[in-house]
A = this chain, B = another copy of it.
């Protein structure tokens, strides 16, 4: 990514990256609490989750250095979130419920962050949508693989990927309709979150793949 493009990554995209780092860090720390790790383990899981998606996005788009190397205070924020969870997680009724809802918020912030970076890089629509989905989902996927949870994306009934995909498409379409880019991104983020919230509350789902029942024998 050439310097001129980097300067196009405006303040509001950085704000989205900060927000998604903070909330994803909380979810990583909650997984650490479910694994009964020590404080350094909390920080590691929080940081890995917080920057994982954006790191994959930046590597494939060729953004150099990746966002948190340019702004190391992002990792400090993730560490702070880990501390807060370490001292408060025992107060929560259901840590898994909190994990799901915080993850939904993080998804709603990270998807537009990914879309915004790819738009600033003048990539085409396919890459813009993929950048949104990667930024939204890869951090949580890494968190779940490393932290020994069933990845949320593998739960067919969760519509997880569909929310990320739908939100990225909506952000792109709002920008095409002529809305200012920050507004389009915020709209796409809200759409992502609302889709996911609907899934969590009302159990919205797409039909999942079900193999035909075996033939009954004559």
Q: Name A residues whose Cβ lies closer than 8 Å to a Cβ of B.
A: 32-33, 35-44, 47, 55, 59-62, 64-66, 69, 72-73, 75-76, 86, 89-90, 95, 123-124, 126-127, 130, 133, 137, 141, 145-148, 150-151, 153-154, 156, 159, 161-162, 165, 205-212
Chain B residues with CB below 8 A from A69, complex form: 60-62, 123, 127
Given contacts A40-B206, A60-B65, A126-B76, contact A151 B146 (CB under 8 A): yes
A85 to chain B, nearest CB (A): 9
Chain B residues with CB below 8 A from A154, complex form: 35, 37, 41, 146-148
Given contacts A130-B75, A148-B154, A154-B147, contact A165 B40 (CB under 8 A): yes
Chain B residues with CB below 8 A from A62, complex form: 64-66, 69
Given contacts A69-B62, A69-B127, contact A37 B208 (CB under 8 A): yes
Given contacts A126-B72, A127-B69, A145-B146, contact A44 B153 (CB under 8 A): yes
A126 touches B44 (CB 8 A): no
Chain B residues with CB below 8 A from A159, complex form: 38, 40
Copies of this chain present in the complex amount to: 3
Compute how far the CA of A175 lies from the CA of B137 in the bound complex, rounded to whole angstroms. 39
Which A-B residue pairs are the 10 nearest by beta carbons?
Answer: A72-B126, A38-B206, A40-B162, A62-B64, A40-B161, A90-B212, A62-B65, A37-B156, A33-B209, A36-B208
Chain B residues with CB below 8 A from A43, complex form: 161
Compute how far the CA of A90 lies from the CA of B173 in the bound complex, rounded to whole angstroms. 35
